[in-house]
Chains A and B, each alone.
Chain A
Amino acid sequence: GESVGLHLPTLSVQEGDNSIINCAYSNSASDYFIWYKQESGKGPQFIIDIRSNMDKRQGQRVTVLLNKTVKHLSLQIAATQPGDSAVYFCAESVAGRDDKIIFGKGTRLHILP
């Protein structure tokens, strides 16, 4: 669910290592999930999405895992690069119902040289 009032947690990762960003969602009826990347002063950019009939989806250097049992979503970034520094948000929606896209609290990814 929304945690818009909380300060963003930070994840620090060494350049070249893999990053894992986690997200808990609240609505068990949600069936569509999206990961966004937001760089400073810009709007969020789509990274990857997954529907509830899947538990894993891979893109270029990114993998999203979905565990519906515990309502948990994760984003894995392989071989993290300096350009990956940003805030990452998960978002959920209930497709075909009320059309809302609700964002999670976000995680700031900091890349160490």
Chain B
Amino acid sequence: SQTIHQWPATLVQPVGSPLSLECTVEGTSNPNLYWYRQAAGRGLQLLFYSVGIGQISSEVPQNLSASRPQDRQFILSSKKLLLSDSGFYLCAWSEQPGTEAFFGQGTRLTVV
């Protein structure tokens, strides 16, 4: 069966520090991969999605970037965090277009 791993679960980082959140999927190949951000009590905002290795589509201009160095690995990064980067970050995968996405357990990032 397929599983998705996202870590760390919580993270507190100072303003101006770098960020690297990692997400890996097991049990499938060539998945679509997604990064979402959710502010407290708000909806989910799509940040990046990827349909293959090295293929990244960005949805909103921001202080973040994403990379897909391997088929089942999706990384969310920042060179210098801002206070506004705080939130709940969720990684997800789907098997193919037009199918449901399955989510990781999320990373709660607090920038102080």
Contacts and interface: CB of A to CB of B under 8 A. Distances in A.
Which of A49, A51, A93 is most buried by chain B, counting CB atoms within 10 A of its CB?
A93
B90 to A, nearest CB: 5
Contacts of A61: none
A101 B42 contact: no
Interface string B83-98: 0000000101010011
Contacts of B104: 43
Contact of A7 (B42, B94, B98): B42
Contact of B46 (A41, A49, A102): A102
A95 B49 CA distance: 14
B7 to A, nearest CB: 13
Interface string A75-95: 000000000000001010101
A5 B84 CA distance: 13
Contacts of A42: 105-106
B82 interface: no
Contacts of A105: 43
B41 interface: yes
Contact of B59 (A95, A97, A100, A104): A100
A44 B49 contact: no
B103 A44 contact: yes
Given A95-B97, A100-B59, A6 B105 contact: no
A101 B43 contact: no
A4 B44 contact: yes
B49 A104 contact: no
